[in-house]
Amino acid sequence: MDGDGAVTDASITMGQPGVTIRPGDHICAFYRGVVQRDDVLVPYLREGILAGDKCICVMDDPDTERVLGALGPDVDRSLRSGQFDLMCSDTAYVPCGYFAVEEMLGFWEHGVGDAVRQAGYAFVRAVGEMTWALRDLPGVEDLVTYEARLNRFLPRYPQVILCLYDLERFTDGRVLMELLRTHPQVLLSGQLLENPWYTEPDDYLAEPR
């Protein structure tokens, strides 16, 4: 699929036993604590590196060595070649000290679009650790608008975007409900589920806020 094509129906191994993903998936991964986060994050990235996928990982945790060490001996080569991009949330989500939906969508358009059109990658795995949104920063109130609009962006490229939400940090039930409404798939306890609460972006964004 190219940037103007339709999403294919091919399934791809996520890295966890029995879990497959499809181009165009936008997944909300709920977990508790760093150990459970890495149980999701590391196999997802490792599988992508081994498959030759472009991998883009945005972490809020400054201890990136923990993840790099778990990815195995191929990680250094993938970093040097540009196959694997690892960056911090301040660089990606709040580079100017505030969160802006249009700028963040532009970040993904640049990163994913260039990987497909210019670098020739057949598939892109992106993942973002979302605890940065709990900081008192301008624009974070637009988080769910951003998540809804990502659903319009996903079909543009052969990609999956995985959003990591720590239930030990995200405890507001109203926010969690909005996150459910903006993600078509939910990963919970090793199970990837079609989300019955998902609302199509045009309908969701038309609601008064």
Give the pLDDT mean for 183-195.
Answer: 97
- Residue 124 pLDDT more than 80? yes
Q: Which residues pair with 191 in a beta bridge?
A: 188
Global confidence as pTM: 0.93
- Residue 101 pLDDT more than 70? yes
Give which of 44, 129, 47 is closest to 93, Cα–Cα.
129
Percent of the chain with pLDDT strictly greater than 90: 91
- What is the 3 state secondary structure string of the chain? CCCCCCCCCCCEECCCCCCEECCCCEEEEEECHHHHHHHHHHHHHHHHHHHCCEEEEEECCCCHHHHHHHCCCCHHHHHHHCCEEEEEHHHHCCCCCCCCHHHHHHHHHHHHHHHHHCCCCCCEEEEEEHHHHHCCCCCHHHHHHHHHHHHHHHHHCCEEEEEEEECCCCCCHHHHHHHHHCCCEEEECCEEEECCCCCCHHHHHHCCC
Q: pLDDT tens digits for 41-98?
A: 999 999 999 999 999 999 999 999 999 999 988 899 999 999 999 999 999 999 999 9
- Under 8 Å between Cβ of 166 and 151: no
Going by pLDDT thresholds of 50, 70 and 90, the confidence category of residue 10 is low
Q: What is the pLDDT of residue 208?
A: 87
Query: Based on the structure, what is the number of domains in the chain?
Result: 1
- Under 8 Å between Cβ of 78 and 46: no
- Residue 3 pLDDT more than 80? no
Q: Which residues pair with 77 in a beta bridge?
A: none
Going by pLDDT thresholds of 50, 70 and 90, the confidence category of residue 15 is very high
> Is 8 part of any domain?
no
User: Range of 65's domain?
Assistant: 21-206
> Is 125 part of any domain?
yes
> Is 11 part of any domain?
no
65: CATH = 3.40.50.300
